[in-house]
Amino acid sequence: MLIVHKYGGTSVGDLERIENVARRVAAARAEGKDLVVVVSAMSGETNKLIEYAHHFAQTPSRREMDILLSSGERVTASLLAIALQEMGYPAVAMTGRQAGIRTDDTHMFARIEEINTEAMRRHIDAGEIIVVAGFQGIDQQGNVTTLGRGGSDLSAVAIAGALGADACEIYSDVDGIYTTDPRIEPQARKLERISYDEMLELASLGAKVLQSRSVELAKKMGVTIVARSSFSDAEGTIITEEVEGMEAVLVSGIALDKNQARVSLRDVVDRPGVAAEIFNQLAADQINVDMIIQNASTDGTTHLGFTVPQSEIEQAKKSIAAFEEEIGGMDFDEQIAKVSVVGVGMKSHSGVAATAFTAMADNSINIEMIATSEIKVSMVIDEKFGELAVRVLHEAYALDR
Amino acid sequence: MLIVHKYGGTSVGDLERIENVARRVAAARAEGKDLVVVVSAMSGETNKLIEYAHHFAQTPSRREMDILLSSGERVTASLLAIALQEMGYPAVAMTGRQAGIRTDDTHMFARIEEINTEAMRRHIDAGEIIVVAGFQGIDQQGNVTTLGRGGSDLSAVAIAGALGADACEIYSDVDGIYTTDPRIEPQARKLERISYDEMLELASLGAKVLQSRSVELAKKMGVTIVARSSFSDAEGTIITEEVEGMEAVLVSGIALDKNQARVSLRDVVDRPGVAAEIFNQLAADQINVDMIIQNASTDGTTHLGFTVPQSEIEQAKKSIAAFEEEIGGMDFDEQIAKVSVVGVGMKSHSGVAATAFTAMADNSINIEMIATSEIKVSMVIDEKFGELAVRVLHEAYALDR
């Protein structure tokens, strides 16, 4: 059995924690597993290096940043390999390049294009535990590249896929995926399993355990992820394809996002292409538009509503100003919360959305916007009701059971 | 004109100092020079990483140590390149691998076997300043290797040689090579030029500006080194082949080494091979024997004297104990100093050694051991006279003029 482990920055945050990780890896090894371990930089290291670079330049060149930033993971990988060797396990550290990770040349946000597993295979066949510096690779020209935030997860999933590993266990300081944030709803329950699609919705809605990119890649490559804690022996949550048993689950989680702002454009001239122009402009100005709602036209004008990250609202106002003549009126609201119900069961069950709306109404929470996907219902409400809405919905879908 | 600059750990010790280095490089560039800059890790970084590794293992595996230790230079190289770019200079950071540095596979003490200058040439032709992470390369299999202490000097000299650079300027916190240590003899004078051979003798005698390996390589490749300070604009010392003008110089420097201990073996059985056995044993026990003196045999026994580093004297005693039966008596003295007179002029001038002995006698300094080479006279004396001997010899050879 071949398993990929991935340990994030907090899990390898200091020398004692690296030793703790070595013990976990050794325990898995003792069970007879072949192991590839992917590690992040010690927490704080990457930010320290970014600060160093910003001492010299506001926007340092990305090519050089990649040489800089890739150094942190190399430190952790070699230290962990040394720790394992000292415990009597044959182990070998590999940089992204040595592990055969080839990316495109988009520095700081590179995409993995190919993994040449030859060298890793050789070490596995020799009975060695491989410790790979995550987050990095090289491009076709041999330049060092990094994969962006969450890049070590990506490295781990891609390696697991390329090697056909039985699972990719991603260790962090939380022990799995919960039905909702336990700090908001103490009844929140850890999920045993969740589908890629549900995880994708939850990730895009702010669940911080896994980033969307890694889940997408896992889905594409068919890699089973297990989200676990490096600080406990709890079982964790399995992220995998939808399976029969999962269909019974109607709703798997409730997510809350308080970092959005709402933009409402009233009486927009209803001629073809106006909406496209507006959203093209927002995209050109690098604003991440999330929910988009357009009401059916009535009197030759229409209403357009959407949400953007709060940090981008000022830029959004400027972008929209160019369309003043086509827009009757606009208002902006930063005091909003987006609460979402996620579950694959929605695909085959009607009434899931109705349950949400009823629960909100029963608690006098006004819904300002609604957007749905196949497996998600998102609602924009007044920010002050955010936590209440989470608890109400958690209860309405009986997620604590 | 193509110049290689090399900046040591102290010169890039913090962000302000890296900025200072950037200004120096920019100034050289403004003079129209093509530049390759080789950098060490920020001072303290390499030691910090070594400490990290020793947290896990007393003798961490060298292959993993190399991945670990090579990270420090990458940080400095990328930061310096970023600083140069911000000042408006086209610059590019390169790791040892990217600079084409191929070594043998002796981890932590690798030797440079070959430099593929293709990539560097391309960047130079494109008008870019290259900043290379020193101290590192890769072996034939693509493993990361490091070159040992002083490795960045080696990188710089090797690159200068491979590119046929006009000079290799090595920057540190001292501004050149002095006739002797200015802290001992305030009249010490900075040398304008010194030959490779003289520099080699001085380096092996404890002058800390340049390590022997780099000077040897420079001699072999015909690279002119300039030893300069990164903290001043002083001219520095040129290390080069002996030239006509240099022959006039009889003695170029006086060196003092107080870290040696003397071993005297009396009445050693004078049969062939005894000395060989003793020194083979010392070598097997990894003791660095320096001066070796053997008196002509008189009564069927002989006297053997040699020096070893003080830190190895205890082990030396153990190693010699095995020969108890062949040795009449032994004594050890850690309170010694080795003072040496170095100069290419000795080759063609007699009387240099006599001047030294006379100066010592005039000052009642007893000489315990003498060893000479073509361009050096070394004397072992009582440790307490070390500094006095330096001043006396400096005066005797009129080195202040």
Q: What is the pLDDT of residues A107-123, one digit of tens each?
A: 999 999 999 999 999 99
Residue B269 pLDDT exceeds 90: no
Among the ranges given (A218-222, B190-194, B299-303), the one the predictor scored with the smallest mean pLDDT? B299-303
Contact B86 A56 (CB under 8 A): yes
Name the minimum distance, in Å, from the CA of B64 to any CA of chain A: 5
B373 token code pair? 């080479």
Q: Work out the angle at residue B225's Cα, subtended by the Cα atoms of residues B222 and B230, and round it to the nearest 5 degrees.
A: 160
Say which of A53, A78, A81 has its CB closest to residue B79: A53
Look at residue B296 in the predicted model and tell me its pLDDT: 66
Say which of B71, B142, B144 has its CB closest to residue A75: B71
Name the minimum distance, in Å, from the CA of B335 to any CA of chain A: 40
More confident residue, A314 or A345: A314
Name the minimum distance, in Å, from the CA of A81 to any CA of chain B: 7
Name the minimum distance, in Å, from the CA of A107 to any CA of chain B: 14
Name the band, by pLDDT with cuts 50, 70 and 90, for residue B360: very high
Q: Which residues of A touch B70 (CB under 8 A)?
A: 74
What are the respective helix, strand and coil percentages of chain A, to the nearest 5? 40, 25, 35
Residue B298 pLDDT exceeds 70: no
What values do phi and psi take at B366, rounded to 5?
-75, 135
Q: Which residues of A touch B55 (CB under 8 A)?
A: 15
Sign of the C-alpha dihedral computed for residues B70, B76, B82 and B84 taken in this order: negative
Contact B142 A56 (CB under 8 A): no
Average pLDDT of span B132-159: 96
Q: Which residues of B touch A78 (CB under 8 A)?
A: 53, 64-65, 67-68
Q: What is the DSSP letter of A223?
A: P
Average pLDDT of span B90-109: 97
Q: Which residues of B touch A64 (CB under 8 A)?
A: 78, 81-82, 85, 92-93
Which residue is it, tokens 């000795």?
Answer: B346
Contact predicate A176/A137, CB 8 Å: no
Say which of B19, B67, B77 has its CB closest to residue A74: B67
Say which of A15, A98, A142 has its CB closest to residue B52: A15
Residue B290 pLDDT exceeds 90: no
Best B54, B59, B64 member to test A by mutation, with max A CBs in 10 Å, is: B64
Say which of B49, B61, B79 has its CB closest to residue A52: B79
Look at residue B245 in the predicted model and tell me its pLDDT: 63
Contact A64 B85 (CB under 8 A): yes
The 3-state secondary structure of B52-79 reads HHHHHCCCCCHHHHHHHHCHHHHHHHHH
B388 token code pair? 């006095």
Taking the CA atoms of chain A, what radius of gyration do you get in angstroms? 23
Say which of A49, A57, A83 has its CB closest to residue B85: A57
List the beta bridge partners of residue A373: A376
Residue B300 half-sphere exposure toward CB, CA atoms < 13 A: 1
Best A25, A55, A82, A85 member to test B by mutation, with max B CBs in 10 Å, is: A82
Residue A228 pLDDT exceeds 80: yes
Name the minimum distance, in Å, from the CA of B78 to any CA of chain A: 5
Contact A95 B53 (CB under 8 A): no
Residue A246 pLDDT exceeds 70: no
Name the minimum distance, in Å, from the CA of B43 to any CA of chain A: 15
B383 token code pair? 């440790």
Average pLDDT of span A295-310: 81
A99 token code pair? 């592990």
Name the minimum distance, in Å, from the CA of A153 to any CA of chain B: 21
Among the ranges given (A254-258, B59-63, B155-159, B274-278), the one the predictor scored with the smallest mean pLDDT? B274-278
Q: What is the pLDDT of residues A176-226, one digit of tens each?
A: 999 998 889 999 999 999 999 999 888 776 667 788 899 999 999 999 999
Q: Which residues of A touch B64 (CB under 8 A)?
A: 78, 81-82, 85, 92-93
Sign of the C-alpha dihedral computed for residues B358, B359, B364 and B366 taken in this order: negative
The nearest alpha carbon in chain B to A46 belongs to B75
The H or E element containing residue B160 is helix B151-163
Q: What is the edge-to-edge ordering of all strands in the sheet holding A101-103?
A: A112-115, A101-103, A136-138, A144-146
Contact predicate A18/A8, CB 8 Å: no
Q: What is the pLDDT of residues A43-77, one digit of tens each?
A: 999 999 999 999 999 999 999 999 999 999 999 99
Report how far residue A69's alpha carbon sits from residue B82's, in angstroms, rounded to the nearest whole number.
13
Residue B246 pLDDT exceeds 60: no
Domains of chain B: 2-173 (3.40.1160.10)
Among the ranges given (A226-235, A241-250, A381-390, B262-271), the one the predictor scored with the smallest mean pLDDT? A241-250
Distances (CA, A) of B126 to B28, B84, B97: 17, 16, 20
B206: region left, alpha or beta (phi > 0 left; psi from -120 to 50 alpha): left
Say which of A61, A77, A86 has its CB closest to residue B67: A77
Residue A295 pLDDT exceeds 80: no
Contact A75 B49 (CB under 8 A): yes
Q: Which residues of A touch B60 (CB under 8 A)?
A: 82, 85-86
Look at residue A32 in the predicted model and tell me its pLDDT: 94
Contact B92 A64 (CB under 8 A): yes
Contact predicate B215/B196, CB 8 Å: yes
Contact A72 B71 (CB under 8 A): yes
Look at residue A268 in the predicted model and tell me its pLDDT: 86
Q: Which residues of B touch A63 (CB under 8 A)?
A: 92-93
Name the minimum distance, in Å, from the CA of B100 to any CA of chain A: 11
A88 token code pair? 């009597």
* Averaged pLDDT score across all residues of chain A: 91
Among the ranges given (A33-37, A331-335, B97-101, B200-204), the one the predictor scored with the smallest mean pLDDT? B200-204
C-alpha closest to that of B172 among B8, B372, B329, B26: B8
Look at residue B304 in the predicted model and tell me its pLDDT: 86
**Number of A–B residue contacts, CB under 8 Å:** 116
Contact B95 A67 (CB under 8 A): yes
Name the minimum distance, in Å, from the CA of A236 to any CA of chain B: 29
The nearest alpha carbon in chain B to A76 belongs to B68
Contact B64 A82 (CB under 8 A): yes
Look at residue B207 in the predicted model and tell me its pLDDT: 63
Contact B56 A95 (CB under 8 A): no
Name the band, by pLDDT with cuts 50, 70 and 90, for residue A14: very high
Contact B68 A78 (CB under 8 A): yes
Q: Give how far the C-alpha of residue A398 lies from the chain's centroid of Cα atoms, to the nearest Å.
A: 26
Note whether ipTM > 0.85 here.
no
Contact predicate A210/A239, CB 8 Å: yes
Name the minimum distance, in Å, from the CA of A28 to any CA of chain B: 20
Look at residue B156 in the predicted model and tell me its pLDDT: 98
Contact B82 A15 (CB under 8 A): no
Max mean pLDDT range (B76-90, B169-183, B283-297, B324-338): B76-90
- Give the strand pairing for A237-240 and A376-382: unpaired
The nearest alpha carbon in chain B to A100 belongs to B142
Among the ranges given (A24-28, A140-144, B290-294), the one the predictor scored with the smallest mean pLDDT? B290-294
Name the band, by pLDDT with cuts 50, 70 and 90, for residue B297: low
